[in-house]
Amino acid sequence: MKYLVMVQGSQADYEAMAGRGSAQSPAWDEKQLKAMFDHMNAITEEASANGELVDAQGLAAPSTARFVTVDADGKPLVTDGPYAETKEVLAGYWVLDCASLDRVTEIAAQVARCPVPPGSPDHPVVIRPIDETGPAQD
């Protein structure tokens, strides 16, 4: 079964990793940033070595996102965002092909144990099964 393992964060977290801390997220130093990247890369390398890795990516800061909707005539409406007050966004992900929900939960727990500076927010790691067949109608 394939699963999407999602790491959440906020614009404040991206600012903090760039050394610009706030009341929501303390500034990271280079040593803390390296520890975080080493931890995440080790998870990716282990999943790859086990044949479980399909894809993994970190995402650019939420401030670079664009929202696209359409108006009544079907023309695109583009909005920059999300803005700094947005609570949580997708910060990165792994697509994993694991033998069981228990196994992907073990990996998500490794992700959740990522080292962060004291006082950093605690964001959940989200697991979603990938539906490769589409919804079934009974």
Listing DSSP states for 9-42 in one string gives E-HHHHHHHTT---SSSPPPPHHHHHHHHHHHHH
Question: What pLDDT, on a 0 to 100 scale, did the predictor assign at position 86?
Answer: 57
Question: What pLDDT, on a 0 to 100 scale, did the predictor assign at position 82?
Answer: 60
pLDDT beneath 50, residues of the chain: none
pTM of the model: 0.88
Question: What pLDDT, on a 0 to 100 scale, did the predictor assign at position 85?
Answer: 56
pLDDT tens-digit map of 57-95: 999 998 888 889 999 999 999 988 665 555 788 999 999
The partner residues of 96 in beta bridges, in order of sequence, read 3, 53
